[in-house]
Chain A
């Protein structure tokens, strides 16, 4: 039913090192026009986009956190997401054209509007290890919808490895980060997530959504 993900090479994120995008976004408050879902040939109609774009701009102007994201298996086009809500359990982020990402401290909890969405992810064990900077094994559970609107559960055993120092430059500023690798497997599927951790939080990451959607890359937009 599910294809194994494409093996990816070194965890470099050249496409994400595009500070100009983030800067123009924040200084001029012009949202990135080319949304993820547009590029993927998916997504909402023009009128709906109009109202979600206004909401996006309003959130950015209100100073809500912004990230830059890319769907690597859909051409890697860049877009941005802004935080709509936040809580200890997680927060909702949206692109200007209303594709949804649910994140908890930067860990992907779910997506909406990608056609084969990750409905929920149980990442508690991974999150504990990564944020504590400890190697170890974590169980991760993903839930999807099957073709009949029933829940499809995929569980993985993940090996979390804290790597050495990996300097990261975002928006012309350097950060001392460590690269954490999370290698997950089950009998049918395997994938690797990467987290660049600096100052106890995720500054940049590459995380797996599912067999059809592939990987999403995310990075912080650094102000000032």
Chain B
């Protein structure tokens, strides 16, 4: 994606942004500092020296907390002489801000849940001295307590701090090693950074890492405890660093740091919206005879009017399903179509309605529909559109005047005023890319192919659809490793599914979406639900339109599909289901807990936290704990991963519902695995509700 980075505007306050260490986190060279990146910053980093490569993703989750995922390669690191591919997670927390005289203080855990080869803990202080000079000093444990070490000062609290558990082999990996944090010998480290201008940085550090295993097995030379580095920050915000490690090794780091909250084209490049039509008093009087809007409270359907509105909305790439008029109010059911911002789709619809409906219609109820489900209703007054079109504060004022309400009353399967005719067919031919990571034999693999999707809406909310894939080129089928799982192989046989050379049916389903009542949403899906499972899936969601809280329940009975992803089934069947709680904490932080029974029949819960930027760019992490023991689970000990969504509109600056979405798991095993059914309700519903719509209401007038 290099083109994307070039499109981003240069970073603000380049001098404020810390430089990064070989660990891909703000720091010196190998040693950490107490510096934090600006909130929300995402840094991708690669550090290489002979026999060692660290690829790191660091995200500033909160202003005071950063999280890191790292994938490293160490040549001939294992005692068997084999290379080690290592996944590790870090966490750093800023405890105290820097004061006039006091340093910033941070505490951190490196590699707290991986194989432990980089495992260390530290407390570090950092002080800016002026003239671009910054000094840091700290105390480290684990790997950071291996050179110049002394007895753990925490030993005064408890003798347990005096000894540290070791690396117990690959089966133990993935457990959070509470029994070794801050234990064993400790050592002091420190260093200084000088940044003469916003483009350059020079660093020197005294390292408390003695590289014992590397010296022993990899031929690493360690002549001094001192490391040096020089960094050049390019105008586009890429840091290029050269470093000298322990007087013998030279290495390079490239770090790209950016803020997903910034966008190359913030207001988008799509065409201007249609102007608001202003009623002039003369035509308003004449318009009283135009359109025989309903007397006696019965909705009236005007075929000509509906056709005009449909065509005008089509030109805006918005689909009108339904338009009725009752008294002086019109109800328009729309699909936001190309717009990933629902607020923008509502704004454009309201503009079109001022232009197509007779002047006496003063109120527009715009109902957002997805999968035939009416999700929310937004009431906009025509007078407000006229009054606020040029008002300086029109964004806030129009949000304050819009009324959000539940749309369940409009859920009847078919109604007068329908513009869409059923059955409605839709198909799409596209390409797909399916990557796979972290196989020690070949860390990145991928398949590329063509995908044909076909769907038919039999009635609102009743959808038959299928998707077929044909691999064109790829090497996923070359995975040699076979699952050694002692659990039912509910996911770990993915390599067998990847052997399919012929046509693959990724899904073939009938779906029914419905509104059982106010604030309630329902889904039933039957058929070949996903690549590995077929059966029946049912879901119910409670989500008031203005509430940050949602609750859901899902019950499924499924059978595992045959490896050729045709119509055949294996003889594994399971009933699986969850109750879920979703909470929007505001400022883009979304939490989710799912508790229930997983595919292998194990019981437990999944905890997720996502940070969604206002433009849809999302980063999140999750982990699942179930009654499967860490031993039975195997490598990794429990299921966990990170995920991200990069909306195409963020890159291209034009409205689009397409996005690059990816979940990355360090290992795929059989414990804590959920069914991957399509169109879970919360994802369909949330964007159209008030808390989410408030976030992007700035696009209402765009």
Chain A positions within 8 Å of B, measured between CB atoms, are 1, 37, 42-44, 48, 51-52, 84-85, 87, 89-90, 92, 94, 97-100, 102, 104, 109-110, 112-117, 119-122, 141, 143-151, 212
Contacts and interface: CB of A to CB of B under 8 A. Distances in A.
B660 interface: no
Contacts of B270: 44, 113
B656 interface: no
B227 to A, nearest CB: 35
Interface in B257-314: 259, 261-273, 275-278
Interface string B602-628: 000000000001110000000000000
A150 B701 contact: no
B269 A42 contact: yes
Contact of A102 (B266, B278, B390, B393): B390
Contacts of A99: 271-272
B695 interface: yes
Interface string B679-702: 000000000000000011111011
Contacts of A114: 267, 269
B271 A98 contact: yes
Given A144-B266, A150-B695, A48 B271 contact: yes
A147 B272 contact: no
B691 to A, nearest CB: 14
Contact of B266 (A85, A112, A120, A146): A146
Contacts of B261: 146-148
Q: Which of B266, B395, B613 has the most CB of A within 10 A?
A: B266
Contacts of A37: 269
Q: Interface size for chain B: under 10, 10 to 19, 20 to 34, or 35 or more residues?
A: 35 or more
Q: Which of B12, B267, B273, B701 has the most CB of A within 10 A?
A: B267
Q: Which of A1, A52, A97, A149 has the most CB of B within 10 A?
A: A149
Contacts of A100: 272-273
A164 B261 CA distance: 47
Interface of B: 9, 12, 259, 261-273, 275-278, 315, 341, 343, 386-387, 389-396, 613-615, 653, 695-699, 701-702
Nearest to A104: B390
A149 B390 contact: no
A98 B614 contact: no
B698 A85 contact: no
Given A145-B266, A145-B698, A149-B698, A112 B392 contact: no
B395 A113 contact: no
Contact of B12 (A1, A89, A113, A144): A1
Given A116-B266, A120-B394, A122-B392, 13 more contacts: A37-B269, A87-B386, A90-B389, A94-B272, A98-B271, A113-B269, A115-B264, A115-B266, A116-B267, A120-B390, A143-B393, A149-B696, A212-B9
Given A147-B263, A148-B615, A149-B341, A52 B271 contact: yes
A148 B276 contact: no
A52 B273 CA distance: 11
Contacts of A141: 392
